Amino acid sequence: MVSTAAVIINLGDVAWNEATRQNHPRKQAVPVDGWVTLSLDFASWPLVLIWVHVDALQEEKD
């Protein structure tokens, strides 16, 4: 039970950690979106990770 909770908490923080590491332009919105999609619909949670990487790459090009 404790290990399951730890895994869920770590998954919720993955998107925020990546956004911070890549200096994402909307890094305040990333953890909210990550936790909402993780708690409501796990299937769309990977889209948040894709958003973090794609948006950070576009910011570097500009």
Domain ranges within the chain, ordered by starting residue: 2-61
Position 35 confidence tier, pLDDT thresholds 50, 70, 90: confident
| pLDDT tens digit sequence for 4-22 | 888 877 877 888 888 888 7
pTM above 0.75, yes or no: no
Q: What is the pLDDT of residue 17?
A: 83
- Report the run of H or E that residue 61 belongs to, with start and end: helix 45-61
- The position carrying tokens 């936790």 is 35
| Number of neighbouring beta carbons within 10 Å of residue 8 | 14
Contact assessment for residue 10 and residue 40, using Cβ atoms and an 8 Å cutoff? no
42 pLDDT exceeds 80? no
